[in-house]
Amino acid sequence: MHTIALALDEHSMLYETAIAAEVFGVDRPNLSPRGEWYDFVVCAPAGVETGWLPSARVGTLSALREADTIVVASTDLEGEPDPALLAELRAAASRGTRIASLCTGAFVLAAAGLLDGRPAATHWMHAAELSRLHPTIDVKDNVLYVDDGQILTSAGKTASLDLCLHLVHLDHGAGASNGLARMLVVPSHRSGGQKQFVVAPADPVMDDRLGEALEWVRAHVDEPLTVEDMASRAALSSRQLARRMIAEVGIAPLAWIHNQRILRAQDLLERTDAGIEEVAARCGMGTATTLRRHFQRSVGVSPTAYRAAFLRTER
């Protein structure tokens, strides 16, 4: 039987820990073609409370040595990873053990040196910090999880479930992962990545002509705007506008206008039932074909899929 060890420390987060316990720790041999599920063990340093996990076998960090797969739960980034856990993870990696992290658990794998030179995912809110702390990691901020063979990492929060279902698929086949997804009332595979959930950062407040130009563009984003239009409103040359936008807003003018169109499209898809052609016109994309192409590239899913996920039901 495949042994999965859930590695916890004093900073482990509740939600992702519960996801792993639900997927791997509840015996479901009827879903597996082999008639067996997982031998699940929770491993934690002495003093870390694990009794709230029902029916879970509990061991110390040394029990990680028994595992075929180690799953590292998400962690509070205010704390430092347990040195003993890092040592066990390094030893497990050298033995060829499969290791997966959930959400910010990627920071634990990074601290152990297991993500150097690899692609990896974490919660989109912390992707930039992971890149800053560990510049050799190829951080993917637009996916739900990364399977890099021996090392797997998930994006934020519920993306942990996507990765856990993927592990079930690898171990027991599509029938098992699909059956489990139906029991949990979730899709067995979600389209797109975490880009669709990212909250766009607010632009800095500007009380000069450039600030007025930004507001004007937002109000006229359905029109055929150019960088020259924007520069004229800001009383700047196109070159001066580009320098100020990159320095103060962090993005070039044309890319900023494009982002405003995507944001307008997202808003219309979330709060109206306007057709895709109408949405395209109202956000300045012109045609539904153009909107679909740019929306898929920017958000990671089609406008129709985005609406299905985010249309505000209170309407």
Selected residue with higher pLDDT from 183 and 201: 183
Average pLDDT, integer, range 22-28? 93
- Residue 191's pLDDT is 61
Buried b (16+ CB within 10 A) or exposed e, 203-241: beebeeebeebbeebeeebeeebebebbbebbebeeeeb
As a CATH number, domain 2-195 is 3.40.50.880
- Map out the domains of the chain as residue ranges: 2-195, 209-310
Average confidence (pLDDT) over 270-291: 92
pTM of the predicted model as reported, rounded to 2 decimal places: 0.67
Q: What average pLDDT does range 61-89 have in this prediction?
A: 93
* Contact (Cβ atoms closer than 8 angstroms) between residue 38 and residue 1: yes
Domains 2-195 and 209-310 share a fold: no
**In which band, very low, low, confident or very high, does the pLDDT at 314 lie, cut at 50, 70 and 90?**
very low
May I ask the CATH architecture of the domain 209-310? Orthogonal Bundle (1.10)
